[in-house]
């Protein structure tokens, strides 16, 4: 049986750093509803790959900066020390 993964996101934090972008602004830029952004931020919805990329583009961030995949038993990602 495959281990269950958890996908988390930093949408709320990234919206704040994007000139305090509102949920509605992000939804319009990403081509989805405000309710979708609310559900994503609350961790109640996992986006399609296409929507995940559209959100990342709208936030001017990499998809890895927006979304994280947490697999039980996997080592924690290492911080970039460059």
Write out the residue range of the structural domain in which residue 27 sits: 6-67
Assess whether pLDDT exceeds 60 at residue 9.
Answer: yes
Report the CATH number at residue 53: 1.10.260.40
Residue 29: inside a domain: yes
Residue 63: inside a domain: yes
| pTM of the predicted structure, to 2 decimals | 0.82
CA 66 from chain center: how many Å? 4
Assess whether pLDDT exceeds 60 at residue 20.
Answer: yes
Provide the domain count of the chain. 1
Assess whether pLDDT exceeds 90 at residue 36.
Answer: yes
Residue 45: inside a domain: yes
Mean pLDDT of the chain: 91
Instruction: State residue 2's pLDDT score.
Output: 74
Closest by CA to 47, choosing from 35, 36, 58, 38, is 36
Instruction: State residue 10's pLDDT score.
Output: 98
Using CB atoms within 10 A of its CB, is residue 11 exposed (0-12), middle (13-18) or buried (19+)?
Answer: buried
* 44-78: pLDDT as tens digits: 999 999 999 999 999 999 999 999 998 776 665 56
Residue 76: inside a domain: no
Residue 77: inside a domain: no
Q: Is 20 left (phi over 0), alpha (psi -120 to 50) or beta?
A: left
């Amino acid at each position: 049986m495959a281990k269950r993964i958890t996908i988390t996101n930093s949408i709320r934090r990234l919206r704040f750093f994007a000139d305090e972008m509102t949920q509605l602004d992000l939804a319009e830029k990403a081509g989805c509803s405000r309710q979708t952004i609310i559900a994503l931020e609350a961790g109640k919805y996992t986006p399609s790959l296409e929507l995940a990329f559209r959100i990342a583009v709208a936030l001017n961030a990499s998809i890895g900066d927006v979304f994280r995949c947490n697999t039980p038993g996997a080592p924690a990602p290492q911080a970039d020390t460059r």
